[in-house]
Amino acid sequence: MEELLFEVTQEADGGYCAECLTESIFTEGDTSEQLRANVKEAVDAYYFDRSKPHLIRLHLVRDEMLTSG
């Protein structure tokens, strides 16, 4: 596997959650910078005894509500 894909959502409190779509990896961060660092740390921990993918992709999922009128 060359790439891991994480789905990132922003929580109501302003923090972020990231969940890997192909492995059992989940982490959080108060800021986007902290989330990036936590994702790298979580991936390192998950793959501690084997080679890890070379690329980590973060996909930000954002919901917006608009009025139609």
pLDDT, tens digit, 9 for 90 and up, residues 33-61: 999 999 999 999 999 999 999 999 999 99
47 found inside a domain: yes
How many structural domains compose the chain? 1
Give the whole-angstrom CA distance, residue 3 versus residue 63. 25
30 found inside a domain: yes
Domain hosting residue 23, numbered range:
3-61
Question: Measured at the alpha carbon of residue 9, what is the angle toward residues 68 and 60, in degrees to the nearest 5?
Answer: 85
Q: What is the mean pLDDT of the chain?
A: 95
Q: Which pLDDT does position 69 carry in this prediction?
A: 81
10 found inside a domain: yes
67 found inside a domain: no
Percent of the chain with pLDDT over 90: 86
Percent of the chain with pLDDT over 70: 99
Q: Which pLDDT does position 66 carry in this prediction?
A: 87
Q: Which pLDDT does position 60 carry in this prediction?
A: 96
31 found inside a domain: yes
